[in-house]
Structure formats: structure tokens, C-alpha cells
Amino acid sequence: MRDAYLVGAAQTDFGSFPDESYRSLFRTAFEAACDSVPAGIDPNDVDEAVVGTLGVGGRQLGLSGPAVTEHVGLDGIPCTRVENACAASGYAVRQAVQAVKSGMADIVLAGGVEVMTDTSSDATKYWLGVSGETEWERLSGTTFAGVYAQMADAHMEKYGTTAEHLSRVAVKNHANGAKNPHAQLGFECSLEDAMNAQVVADPLTLYHCCPTSDGAACAVVVSEDVVDEYTDDPIRIAGVGAASDRVGLFQRDTYTSVPASREAAQSAYEMADVTPEDIDFAEVHDCFAIAELLAYEDLGFCEPGEAGELVASGATELGGERPVNTSGGLKSKGHPIGATGAGQMVEAYKQLSGSAGERQVEGAKRGLTHNVGGSGGAAVVHVLEKESEVEA
């Protein structure tokens, strides 16, 4: 199979935008992604598009995939909408890579968009809940925060993880998000802020939970046959892994791991022929603070039960051994469900192209993105590498 490369990626601001539609948000991300390609790209050269969205907000009902591609002028090309809850556009990127590797396309647009702030809090809580297990969790009254609170409580009981460990995730990600002009919650918070905030679902406080967001993100994936036309410093998508699992937390054998993340990561590492030690930075799915701690362990950055110690050590901060969520993560940057996975690719592109500004990881040559659907019913992992650096 052919190699696939990331030659451009961009996003809108994430936040609340009552004057925007899903079409206008997608256009902003699409045009910025085209502009980010070093040698430029003619939209008419795009062979195919894959768009991730949950698509249940009041302003985005309908045939949203073709609606956004038509709106930006990609008339007539195949467009597939992907819905896999919070992993929608992570899977869209995976589909784009598959199309390129198979030889069916040379240039594929992978994007995502979501409008989440146009419905009531009760309605939002409902349709977020149906991204997980509906019959036995959502309809019995369990919220998404409640599901992740169960994971946090189990990890605390089994491994001695503390509320301070959860809060250090929030402090770190807010510090990074304060350096990201696209972040919805682009301000710093103190350890005391995070620990003493209102309880949402014990032991999770408000600062342990990501916001609901509007936004869009796009990535341009091309084949090895045409990559030299667009950049002289290619970023190769070296590994891709995906997995699914039982949707309901109560159906799984463990509350202290996300098995789909573990399996997806292993597949991505094997394809890229790397180990966790080779990863210089990572964007992981931190919809709740406990989710980031679980990701450390599931991705192999530390042993089970050591995630709390890892975040407390500073190893995952900017300047640490392996910075995680330099964008601010879902926690600070925001979480427009369908745009999140593609948004992670935006940060990976910036880091590997040396354009992350204050957030730049020095010497970054290999990164990872990790996108989870629901409470772990689906997961997708990408390993990206700056080809000139890894071959040197």
C-alpha cells in the first residue's frame, strides 16, 4: 500500500457561535486548511471528502456531509459522513488514510464539524448521553460525567489516584490552552480552582470536565505519489489503529482501562514500527480528567496505576519528557464532538511543522493522536512522523 501524508490542517476557534452555521464553520476550517499547505492546494484537486459529525444539534440536521462539501465548492466528489460519537472525525481521518493507501484517491479532505450550543442544557445532556449506552445507562439516569466518575472512583480505589492528580490534568491543559488562540477556555487555572470547584459527578468537579462547543477542523491527506507537489518536508501518517468495545461501561471487564484505546494504540505502533517510548508528544482524548490518566496507561506511556504519578512528575507538561495535550486538549481547547479528532490532527500538524508557537515541543519528530467515542465504545489512534527527522 502507498504511504499517506498530512500536508495541511486547520481549525476554527472552538466556543459558542450563535451567528455561525455548520456550513460556515466548516468553510472557515476548510479554507484555513488549504492555506496551511506549504505549496498551496487547489480545492478542485480534492478527490474525496470524509466528514465526521454527530449531527444532532438544531442547526445541523440534514445531509450534513454533502451539505458542507457543496458549500465550500467541492461539487461532485464522493463525500462520506462518519458518525462514531466523539471519535467521528478521528475515524474520518482514518477513512481518508485508507482511501489514499488503497490507491482510490490521491488527495482526500478529512474534516469534522459540530454545533452543540444551540439547544437547552437538558437536551444537550440527553443527546450526549445517547452517544453511550442508551438503554441501561442513559435511560436509567446516568450521564456521561457519571460514567467517567465511575471510572475515576474505580481508579482511585484500585491504585490510590487522588483528586489532586485529576486536578493537575486540568491545570496543565489550561496552561497549554492559554497559549492557544483557538481555545474555548483559553485561561489558566490553579490547583485550588480545580480541586474546589463545584462537583459535577463525584469525584469530578467542573474543572475536570470539558465544555460543550461549536467548531470545525479539516486535514488534507495525500498520497506518496503527489506529496512532493505540496511540501518539501513531509509529515507521514506512519501508523493507524482502531478498535471497538462494548458500549456500556457496565458490560466491560474493567473500569480502570479503555480496552479499545489499548488495542488501537497497539495496532498503530505496529504499523508505524515504533514503541510508546518513540512518541515525542501526544494529543489524547481528555473529555474528563480521568480520561487523560487512563490514556497514559492505555497508550503505554506508563504502567497501569502510575498515571497519577506521571502527571504529578511534570513529564506530560510542556518542557517535560513527553508533553500531552499541548493544544489544551478537550478540557481547555473545547470539544465540538464531530471536530475533535480532526482538531487533534491540527495540533499534530503544527507541532511537526514547527508552527505551534509558544506551545512548540522542541525537537518534535513523532507524535500521536488518540480519539475516543463515547465512554470507550470506539477508539482510533494515529502515529505521525516528520519524515526528514526520522530518516536522518
State the catalytic residue, choosing from 34, 79, 86, 287: 86
Q: How far apart are CA 210 and CA 201, in angstroms?
A: 13
- Beta-bridged to residue 176, according to DSSP, are none
Q: Find out whether 353 and 233 touch, Cβ atoms under 8 Å.
A: yes
Set of cell numbers at residue 79: 463525500
Can you tell me the distance from the alpha carbon of 289 to that of 108, in angstroms, rounded to the nearest whole number?
Answer: 33
3-state SS class at 181: coil
Say if CB 206 and CB 198 are below 8 A apart: yes
Written as one letter, the residue type at 221 is V
- Please state, in angstroms and as integers, the Cα–Cα distance from residue 53 to each residue in 60, 279, 359, following that order: 9, 28, 28
Catalytic residue, candidates 165, 335, 370, 382: 335
Q: How far apart are CA 345 and CA 89, in angstroms?
A: 10
Strand pairing report for 215-223 and 107-114: antiparallel
The 10 Å Cβ neighbour count of residue 199 is: 13
Residues in the chain: 392
**DSSP state string for 39-69:** T---GGG--EEEEE----STT--S-HHHHHH
d(CA 374, CA 138): 12
Concerning whether 335 is annotated as a catalytic residue, the answer is yes
Q: Where are the beta strands (DSSP E) in the chain?
A: 4-11, 48-52, 79-82, 107-114, 199-201, 204-205, 215-223, 235-244, 281-283, 366-373, 378-386
**Are β-strands 199-201 and 79-82 bridged in parallel, bridged antiparallel, or unpaired?**
unpaired
Mark whether 182 is an active-site residue. Answer: no
State how far the alpha carbon of 319 is from the alpha carbons of 32, 164, 280, 358, 383, in Å: 28, 21, 11, 11, 21
- Residues known to be catalytic: 86, 335
